[in-house]
Homo-oligomer: A and B are copies of this chain.
Amino acid sequence: MLLDRKARITKTENWGSYFLISLATPDIARQSQPGQFLMIKVSSSLQPLLRRPLSIHNRSGQEIEIFFQVTGEGTRLLGQKSPGDLLDILGPCGHGFSLKPEFKGKEIFCIGGGRGLAPVYFLARELQTGGARPIIFYGGQTLSDLPLKSRLEEAGWTTNFSTDDGSFGFRGLVTQLVEKELKGRKPAFLFGCGPEAMMARLAEICQAARLPAEFSLESNMGCGLGVCWGCARKIRKDGKTGYLRICQDGPVFPAEEIIWDRD
């Protein structure tokens, strides 16, 4: 059930262009699943017009957290909010990652590229709660793109870091790091969220390794409710390809259903 709430900001943290905001919103928190997202009104005026989709980064008790990077006017305005401010949010939206009972006791690869780490934290926590063993991969261009580094380390999960410039962790793409790790480990599943090119490459790697996977896709969203069909992307389902709604039929899709946007 989609809920429309005014959530009070209880805490904000900030590293350069990255922000972490905590919101008190008990009933949305209660219903949230990893991979689901919120539609957030960033302005009290008519500009920017549309809500912005942001993944649920974490749930703790009555609160949820969002983690985002400033990429334009909407996220810039969101970054200016302070504790005490009310945010107009709609959620939880969409269908999240498939948390299967058979993951219990198994290693599960969870890959987040840049701001794509947002849903991965919540995912890893829920995997752990379900008895699975999340192995995190967190990649960025440089060390400052890994603001949640210590948060992940504190959680106690096995975490692998990569930076394109080698300023922290593995030097290179996170996809290369995953490939390397796959030589030594045999996870039961892979979940990924990040830039399209990263996910597309991960999908290839998974296919080659016969590793089942799911990815969280992005698309420009009008409503987040499934009514505008603005977020549609080509998806291959039951042998047929057609435009499905990322907001409603996703945002998480099995690797084999996704037709990657190679642009």
Contacts and interface: CB of A to CB of B under 8 A. Distances in A.
Contact of A73 (B45, B48, B77): B45
A1 interface: no
Chain B CB within 10 Å — which of A43, A45, A77 has the most? Answer: A45
A46 interface: yes
A44 to B, nearest CB: 9
A47 interface: yes
A47 B47 CA distance: 6
Contacts of A73: 45
A47 to B, nearest CB: 4
Nearest to A76: B44
Contacts of A43: 45
Interface residues of A, number: 7
Contacts of A48: 45
A158 to B, nearest CB: 43
A184 to B, nearest CB: 50
A78 B73 CA distance: 19
Contacts of A47: 45-47
Nearest to A47: B47
A47 B49 CA distance: 10
Contacts of A46: 47
Interface in A39-87: 43, 45-48, 73, 77
Nearest to A49: B47
A43 B77 CA distance: 12
A187 B49 CA distance: 55
Interface in A161-218: none
A77 B45 CA distance: 10
A46 B47 CA distance: 7
Nearest to A73: B45
A194 to B, nearest CB: 29
Nearest to A80: B44
Contacts of A45: 43, 45, 47-48, 73, 77
Given A43-B45, A45-B77, 6 more contacts: A45-B45, A45-B47, A45-B48, A45-B73, A46-B47, A47-B47
Top 3 closest A-B pairs, CB basis?
A47-B47, A45-B47, A46-B47
8 contacts: A43-B45, A45-B45, A45-B47, A45-B48, A45-B73, A45-B77, A46-B47, A47-B47
